[in-house]
Structure 1
Amino acid sequence: MEDELFPRACARIAPGAVHVPGWLDAEQQRALLTACRDWARPPAGLRTVRTPGGGTMTARQVCLGWHWYPYAYARTVTDGDGSPVKPFPAWLDELGRRAVTEALGPEAVGGLSYDIALINFYDADARMGMHRDADEKSDAPVVSLSLGDTCVFRFGNTESRTKPYRDVELRSGDLFVFGGESRLAYHGVPKVYPGTGPAELGLTGRLNVTLRVSGFEGAVLGAPR
């Protein structure tokens, strides 16, 4: 909120985990939203993710670069329309590297190159259970960008889905980066606050754009758990 008496400050949530409020300005948010809307169109568009146990995730998802499905990666939408996954654009790699540099310092970037994007759409009732981003072969930091409605982002520990954890309010334009000791920390979204996104953005709901480095070669990686 622009009229806050005390602007939100950058915060270290855990070792290697940093929240940077308002990292994307209004113009950058609009540009990223436009891209997300294009990526969400079929083929290989926004889909409902089904888990091996027969359940469904309440947040819908589209992938770039590599297609994630529980719990592996492929080059095609194996659990959807079978189309080739949409390409990962070079400008997203540049954005991810800049995010890591500003959040964790240039030493955290190294020679990494981002090649996966998972874009999750949350409506008013969507949630994300506590989980780890553990299906990649790289330990490069994860970059998370928020658009639209505010959410509670629960950032936990590397051992279990239970406490200790810390709840962080993520608003439109916020950046969250986690790597190093926190790369495999459990995290989730227990709540979204409907109608809290900036009206001028024109988005109903919340979008989360998560960038990762795969460390992959070949066609299919990972295996069911």
Structure 2
Amino acid sequence: MTLDLFPHQTFTVPEAIGPDAFVLRNFATPHIEELLSAINTLERQAAFRNMVTPGGFIMSVAITNCGRLGWTTDRQGYRYSPIDPDTGQPWPSMPAAFRQLAKEAAAESGFADFEPDACLVNRYLPGSRLSLHQDKDERDFNAPIVSVSLGMPAVFLFGGHKRTDKAARIPLMHGDVVVWGGVDRLRYHGVLPLKENPHPLLGGQRINLTFRKAG
């Protein structure tokens, strides 16, 4: 598992998708080995699971968390909690490689001094999707969202401030990072159903790391 598999991939100028929203192509590529090692450790401590929404639907995306707070959902609602409901223990600490990447990506996008306290880790398999939604369970909307894509390609939907607003379709590849905050912080976003397109390192899955300041 080396970066030589992707010798052509280098970071380019941030691609604006809104006034305060950017795609950083290949920004995570230099950190891939550290990230994947940390994900493997995290999964052993807090396994991926398909949670139930307040409406009683089982999410197609499997999730886990790390950091001081973890995002959870059940029939009682969406919320952040310091405790993993499956283990009754605190969520694993956020790996240093995760935190550093999130801070660097935020700074590159104009959001200095970002200090994430929550990282939601999503695992998509072919057919998994994420419907349009706003990230609004956090207490403070001043901090940006930083989203890291690993593994199979995906199409990111980036809409407006109303669910009915037309959403742009933005292809994301292994190593891409999306950052949005400021006037774009509460825009609706989602992911189209994942197509099967195995990746050399991660096979038939996509891992997404979403960093937030939740508390």
- Report the Cα offset of residue 8 of structure 1: 7.4
Is the counterpart of residue 10 in structure 1 residue 1 in structure 2? no
1:76 to 83, 103, 124: 83
More divergent stretch after superposition (83-92 vs 29-38)? 83-92
Alignment check: 8 A CA contact 2:35 2:98 kept? no
Q: Deviations over 1:180-219 (max 9, x none)?
A: 011111100013232253x1x24431000011112x2xxx
Amino acid across the alignment from 1:189 = V
Q: Deviations over 1:88-142 (max 9, x none)?
A: 234422221110111x22xx214x3111100000001111111111111122011
| SS of residue paired to 1:40 | helix
Is the counterpart of residue 41 in structure 1 residue 44 in structure 2? yes
- Report the Cα offset of residue 40 of structure 1: 1.4
Distance in structure 2 (CA, Å) of the matches to 1:167 and 1:9: 19
The list of structure 1 runs, each at least 4 consecutive aligned residues, that deviate by more than 3 angstroms after superposition, is 1-4, 7-10
| Alignment partner, residue 204 of structure 1 | 204
Identity value in percent = 32
Distance in structure 2 (CA, Å) of the matches to 1:41 and 1:167: 34
Alignment check: 8 A CA contact 1:15 1:182 kept? yes
| Alignment partner, residue 219 of structure 1 | none
Alignment check: 8 A CA contact 1:123 1:204 kept? yes
| SS of residue paired to 1:61 | strand
Amino acid across the alignment from 1:117 = C
Is the counterpart of residue 98 in structure 1 residue 104 in structure 2? yes
Distance in structure 2 (CA, Å) of the matches to 1:181 and 1:72: 23
Distance in structure 1 (CA, Å) of the matches to 2:99 and 2:205: 25
Amino acid across the alignment from 1:125 = G
Alignment check: 8 A CA contact 1:92 1:114 kept? no
Is the counterpart of residue 86 in structure 1 residue 92 in structure 2? yes
| Alignment partner, residue 30 of structure 1 | 33
Structure 1: which 5+ runs fail to align?
A: 217-225
Q: Per the alignment, do residues 10 and 191 of structure 1 end up closer, same or farther by CA in structure 2, a change over 3 Å counting? A: farther
1:61 to 63, 69, 78: 63
| Alignment partner, residue 160 of structure 2 | 157
| SS of residue paired to 2:55 | coil
Structure 2: which 5+ runs fail to align?
A: 1-5
- Report the Cα offset of residue 67 of structure 1: 1.8
CA root-mean-square deviation: 2.1
Q: Deviations over 1:1-46 (max 9, x none)?
A: 8779xx9763111121101111122x5223211211221124x321
Aligned residues: 203
Distance in structure 2 (CA, Å) of the matches to 1:9 and 1:192: 27
Is the counterpart of residue 20 in structure 1 residue 27 in structure 2? no
Q: Given the two structures, how large is their TM-score scaled by the length of structure 1? A: 0.83
2:125 to 123, 126, 132: 123
Is the counterpart of residue 146 in structure 1 residue 149 in structure 2? yes
| Alignment partner, residue 3 of structure 2 | none
Q: Per the alignment, do residues 196 and 13 of structure 1 end up closer, same or farther by CA in structure 2, a change over 3 Å counting? A: farther
